Amino acid sequence: MDISLWKQRIAERQATIGVVGMGYVGLPLLLEFCRKGFKGLGFDILPERCRQLKDGRSYIAHIPDASIRSQVEAGRLDATSDFARVAEADALLICVPTPLTRHREPDLSFIVKTAESIAPHLKTGCLVVLESTTYPGTTAEDLVPILERHGRKVGKDLFVAFSPEREDPGREGHSAPVIPKVVGADDPVSREMAECLYSQVVVKVVPVQGTRTAEAVKLTENIFRSVNIALVNELKVIFTQMGVDVWEVIEAAKTKPFGFMPFYPGPGLGGHCIPIDPFYLTWKAREYDCNTKFIELAGEINSSMPRYVIERLTRALNDRGKPLRGSRILILGMAYKSDVDDDRESPSYQLFELLLAGGAQVAYYDPYIPVIKPSRQHAKLAGRKSIEWAPDLLESFDAALIATAHSQVDYAAVVRHSKLVVDSRNATRNVVEGREKIVMA
């Protein structure tokens, strides 16, 4: 196929870019194409999300309404649950979840269902790019066969690439346009088209030879983080027993201009990537009779952190003559990281459930998570609401457990009004008065 006309449509901003999945990855990506002059068409199975976008309203805390409204009013942004409109797209980017099953095995159902929904409607010459994090082989072995069911051939009638998302929700200075984009395809035309597309909106495109390589890149990035976070979590446990402040150690170590990169301990892993992605590789590795001992050990260490934090809390209560059972505990933060409304895989939910199992009375405060949404993993917590913030209310709790370090919280006031503060995030590092109340976890 002669792709010169397709590339011309891209260059002249006459192409329509479709994005499937209007979540933390898909919506910012769609907005970026719209800002660069493309017509953007968002697809989501939740009609309410589509209605909000068409009305110019955001449902993600770090994306303001104005960013959406300006593109809607300019006629560049539209959203729909009607997958027949896939036929309008010159390029279609898939940004759907890839969770784990209850048995911690890859769940590709969102990718498969998306492929089945778009395949009948793709127009000839369309570029389809999978961005969802997954194991090497997914694009070639799972996505392509579904796209070819209707008699069209990838590399001839349709074109397919993989480009891993690298979104970090809420992190300033790391928006999509300034993050280099890795692109891999299994035929040269698909790779050329994908490079052409992404070069319109990102600072740099990094081409790799095939989809398997591109899929492996994202897993490598997140496994690197998982393993290093596990390392500092293990050091935290060891140094605490020695009476050494692990956070002070890290701050001093990172002054070395080479050979060290700072990672920080916490109450467990959260977000949609780091707690999940390593297990995609461990599962796929079994097919090749390979063990992933290092990755699995990191997973075990990180998964043990919520229990470690609760043990530290329980011991601190005991030292003050209070058992965990019957104590009133306030969890500060349900989001998986500071200053976002993203609670996917947040360790705060495990902390919550461990406290309840220990007989504690538990409440939480999080300005970004006013109500706990229903979920399969933590169904019993659904519907619980954040308390209204009032520092003197802390006096009615036996302990405050800092699980997420939101910057708008006055931690000096938290310490001043609390009987006990268990800090798993080093959020109280600048608090001077009342340090005898603080227990690091």
Residues serving a catalytic function are 273
Residue 275, CA distances (Å) to 48, 272, 326, 336 in order: 28, 7, 32, 11
For residue 307, CA distances in Å to 145, 221, 228, 335, 411 come to 44, 27, 19, 18, 24
Per-state percent for the chain, helix, strand, coil, to nearest 5: 40, 15, 45
The angle that helices 188-198 and 4-11 make with each other, rounded to 10 degrees, is 10
31: helix, coil or strand? Answer: helix
One-letter amino acid identity for 24?
Answer: Y
End-to-end C-alpha distance for the chain, whole angstroms? 60
Give the C-alpha separation, 272 to 68, whole Å.
24
Phi, psi at 40, each rounded to 5°: -110, 135
Q: Locate tokens 């740099």: which residue?
A: 204
Q: Is 266 helix (H, G, I), strand (E, B) or coil?
A: coil
